[in-house]
Amino acid sequence: MRCRAPLALLGLVALAASACSGGGGDPADAATTAGTPDVTAVSDGAVSEPAIAPLTGVRDESGATAKRPALSVKVDNAPKARPQAGLDVADLVFEEVVEGGVTRFIAVFHSAAPDEAGPVRSVRPMDPKIVSALGGLVAHSGGIPEYVSLMRKAPVQDVNVDVATSAYRWAKERPKPHNLMVHPNELWPMAKDEHSDPPPALFEYRAPGEAFGEADAPSVRIPYSNFASAAYAWDAGSGTWKRSQDGAAHLAASGAQIAPHNLVVQFVSTRRLGNVDASGHAVSESIVTGEGEAWVASGGRVTKGRWSKPDATSPTRYTDAAGHPVKLAPGRTWVHFAPVGSPVSAG
């Protein structure tokens, strides 16, 4: 059985979420409490607090997050793979640089999921170290045998296309090889006992009206390479960051612009490995364990601090310049692994 999120932390978040949202605060904070009662259920004289989705810090009235594991899906980000399905509703998304300077995603579904997600692509050497802290299920299209083996040794259940074929489909309307899609709701019932627990909470969340950040940041730009860049514009009305990819609004297959509530830019060292991909580019690995610089943007502001992850199974911790944990707004979060030296800007 996996370790659940600490009860003290969940209790603190639940109390914060049920507090009055008056007195200011950013819209993303207020949206999590609006229209919800302080007391949700009474049984045998005991007051029952609502569940808190561990990967978003948002109240889960359905209780679904207590009954299923995290599902991590490796998603393509080549131009021909867009628009992707499901990125707009994922609780958590990691963006990583792969060979050739382009990026791919690991989209983590838990509190919500689309009918279909993808296009699904292959694993890379850093992926097992990213998903090990989450546990649960991992969907991908395979890959170099060495990296597939690493995933199968990680504390997750591998549900790739060869293992769980019935949950995937080849979309005839999309170009190959950017056309493998997966149905999350068909993968969750496949979870084995040791991989069926909900994930732990990865972040701390701030209460409505709680101050955040060192400076205003109406925009964030992340130039990964000459071949890939991401940019975000703060939208105060929705309390989200509107994402652009390579200079154009990044839309999901649903038609919605991708817009998380929090952004993390984690500066990581990279190294080239001996393997090459089908196009002949050397495979690179982002070093996601250890420590380094990190920027966190939330509520239209930014704070600069540090990240640390002692080993693959430990969650990454983000702290400010004073060493205090950085608290996010309840909602969806995107983590970007930017190579050290990338000319990231916020402001």
Over the stretch 181-239, which tens digit does the pLDDT of each residue have?
Answer: 999 999 999 999 999 999 999 999 999 999 999 999 999 999 999 999 999 999 999 99
* 216 located within any domain: yes
> What pLDDT digit, counting tens, does each position of 54-101 carry?
999 999 999 999 999 999 999 999 999 999 999 999 999 999 999 889
> What pLDDT digit, counting tens, does each position of 149-159 carry?
999 999 999 99
* 195 located within any domain: no
Instruction: Judge contact between 180 and 141, C-beta under 8 A.
Output: yes
Comparing 163-177, 206-220, 236-250, 266-280, the range with the smallest average pLDDT is 266-280
- Its domain, for residue 299, covers 205-346
Coil, strand, or helix at residue 222? strand
Nearest to 100 by CA among 132, 85, 78: 78
Total domain count for the chain?
A: 1
User: Which residues on adjacent β-strands are paired with residue 181?
Assistant: 169
pLDDT above 70: percentage of residues in the chain: 85
Which residue reads 């297959």 in tokens? 253
pTM comes to 0.86
- Give the Cα separation of 257 and 139 in Å (integer): 24
Distance of CA 174 to the CA centre of its chain: 25
> What pLDDT digit, counting tens, does each position of 282-320 carry?
788 999 999 999 999 999 999 999 999 999 999 999 999
- Give the Cα separation of 259 and 244 in Å (integer): 9
* 194 located within any domain: no
The whole-number pLDDT of residue 279 equals 67
> What pLDDT digit, counting tens, does each position of 18-39 carry?
333 333 344 444 444 333 333 3
* 333 located within any domain: yes
CA triple 50-317-130, angle to 5 deg = 90
Peptide bond into 119 cis (omega under 30): yes
In 19-144, which residue ranges form alpha helices assigned H by DSSP? 27-31, 127-131
Is pLDDT above 80 for 47? Answer: no
The pairing of strands 248-249 and 240-245 is antiparallel
* 268 located within any domain: yes
* 235 located within any domain: yes
State mean pLDDT over 264-281. Answer: 84
What CATH number is given to the structural domain containing 314?
3.50.90.10
